[in-house]
Amino acid sequence: MGMTLAEKIIAAAAGRDSVSPGEIVTCRVDLAMIHDSGGPRRVKPILERLGAKVWDPLKVVVVSDHYVPAVDAESAAILDLTRKWVSENGIGDFYDMQGICHVVLAEHGHLRPGMFVVGGDSHSATGSAFGCFMFGIGATDMAGVLATGETWIKVPGTILLDWKGRLGRGVSAKDMMLAMCARLGLDGGGYQVVQYVGETIMALPMVERMTLSNMAVELGAQTGLIAPDGITAAYIEKAGGDPGDRDAWQADHEAEYLATHDFEAGALEPQVAAPDSPANAAPASEYRSVSVDQAYIGACTGAKLADLHMAAEVLKGRRVAAGVRLLVAPASARVTADAAADGTLATLTAAGAFLLPSGCGACAGMGAGVLAENEVCISSTARNFKGRMGAATSKVYLGSPYTVAAAAVAGRIADPREFLDGAG
């Protein structure tokens, strides 16, 4: 019997010739990623009680992204603890205030096909866009990984999400994800693996593939795999990494899958998810009557360079509507630098956008951009659960950067295609 891509990676990490769904195996971890919120401040006391040290500092990446920059003494103390723990444990790969962990990890070439990777954050699934198996774990499990270099996993089955056709103008991977959430629901992945396949997927650049893998957890999946190809290898090489043998990390033709769901890209319209779930998605045109107080372009899901480019396409030569705040928090320092160099930031700020530091920020209800009682926000983030971005009575709608920018200009939710290709 052939193996899926997920099964191949898990088998290799477990030192097995093969594995089957439902088996529980122990795997060697190729890389562990933690951040300031769920990292040192959580795992340090556990490791100290165990009398354990980090098994291999060269296989640990630490990123400060949740409490940056510090806005109060408590945040500063968490960052101080993080920096001291990194130094005490000889962690060389520490990205302090350089951006959001999921984006920074990819930017610096840490991921390659076939790796078995764990992250201390639910959106660690982002890494599986590179043909590795990456998923999120809690602090207790992470402490075990840091002490031993191993973790256990129940081998998941794989659900194929097959996309055919070509995306239309003003439609992006974020719209694809919201459409999948609406159709399959937040438990559609059943804590199995979802694997994105089809001509639409393989035509996407890596940063758009990252959006799909990132939001696999919104489908209730353990992770969201994409098989590696030439686009994968080119990105990794540019980031200074080694793509390895991508041909070795493909599913067998006779592999068995739990289910296959077919989607048509050409028929997809820009999507908006209403409060309080990404599954509440429908075409943006259905929400035209919704006025917004704030438009937020940020987070690992929606503030990569390509995302800022989408927003700039809509905003060029236009102004943000009176009474609307457009906040932009680039996903990393590198994204900020690149967007400054190519003129994107100038376009955004000329339209009236406010530039915020790179970090998780308001997506996680922290720092600048949180919402007051009863305010309405449209956001490029992954989640819009009640109270996530501020006051419990605030309302958060989700959309692509195209759609967020269009709403900022219109003062209400709008179809971004109205603002593209010279449309008024």
Q: What is the pLDDT of residue 366?
A: 86
The tens-digit pLDDT sequence of the chain (424 residues) is 799 999 999 999 999 999 999 999 999 999 999 999 999 999 999 999 999 999 999 999 999 999 999 999 999 999 999 999 999 999 999 999 999 999 999 999 999 999 999 999 999 999 999 999 999 999 999 999 999 999 999 999 999 999 999 999 999 999 999 999 999 999 999 999 999 999 999 999 999 999 999 999 999 999 999 999 999 999 999 999 999 999 999 999 999 999 999 999 999 999 999 999 999 999 999 999 999 999 999 999 999 999 999 999 999 999 999 999 999 999 999 999 999 999 999 999 999 999 999 998 888 888 889 999 999 999 999 999 899 999 999 999 999 999 999 999 999 999 999 999 754 4
What integer pLDDT is reported at residue 191 of this predicted model?
94
Q: Which domain holds residue 335?
A: 271-419
Structure token digits, residue 141: 């499990």
- Say what the pLDDT of residue 424 is: 42
Q: Say if residue 257 is in the same domain as residue 294.
A: no
Q: Name the residue with tokens 């680039």.
A: 330
| Residue with tokens 């920018």, as numbered in its chain | 405
Q: How many C-beta neighbours within 10 Å does residue 48 have?
A: 10
Same domain, 205 and 285: no
* Residue 166 lies inside a defined structural domain of this protein: yes
The verdict on 201 and 315 lying in the same domain is: no
Angle, vertex CA 106, rays to CA 105 and CA 108, nearest 5:
75
In angstroms, what is the C-alpha Rg of the chain?
21
Residues 6+ apart with CB under 8 A from 158: 4, 5, 6, 7, 192, 193, 194, 195, 225, 255, 257, 258
Q: Which two tokens stand for residue 65?
A: 């992204």
Token pair listed for 200: 């639409």
**Within this chain, do residues 119 and 182 fall inside the same structural domain, yes or no?**
yes
158 and 173 both lie in a single domain: yes
First to last CA, the chain: 57
**Is there a single domain that holds both residue 299 and residue 259?**
no
Same domain as 177, residue 312: no
Measured in whole angstroms, the distance separating CA 255 from the mean position of its chain's CA atoms is 28
Last residue of a domain, one of 264, 289, 319: 264
* Sequence-ordered list of residues with C-beta below 8 angstroms from that of 56, at least 6 positions apart, any chain: 149
The kind and range of the H/E element at 15 are none
Q: Where are the beta strands (DSSP E) in 205-302?
A: 223-225, 259-264, 271-273, 281-283, 294-297
User: Could you tell me if 108 and 126 lie in one domain?
Assistant: yes
Structural tokens at position 367: 């720092």
147 and 241 together in one domain? yes
Domain boundary among 202, 232, 264: 264
Do 164 and 242 share a domain, yes or no? yes
Domain boundary among 264, 299, 333: 264
H or E element that contains 350: helix 344-350
301 and 169 within one domain: no
Instruction: Provide the Cα torsion 253, 112, 263, 260; round to 10°.
Output: 40
Sheet holding 259-264, edge to edge: 223-225, 193-197, 158-164, 259-264
Name the domain count of the chain: 2
Residues 204 and 318 in one domain: no
Model confidence, pTM: 0.96
Q: Is the dihedral of CA 200, 205, 206, 209 positive or negative?
A: negative
Residue 199 forms part of a structural domain: yes
Residue 424 counted as domain residue: no
Q: Are 379 and 274 in contact (CB under 8 A)?
A: no
Sorted by sequence, the CB contacts under 8 Å of residue 182 that are 6+ apart come out as 271, 273, 279, 280, 281, 282
C-beta neighbour count of 253 within 10 angstroms: 6
Task: Give backbone dihedrals phi and psi of 133, rounded to 5 degrees, phi first.
Answer: -105, 105
Where residue 115 sits, what CATH number does that domain have? 3.30.499.10
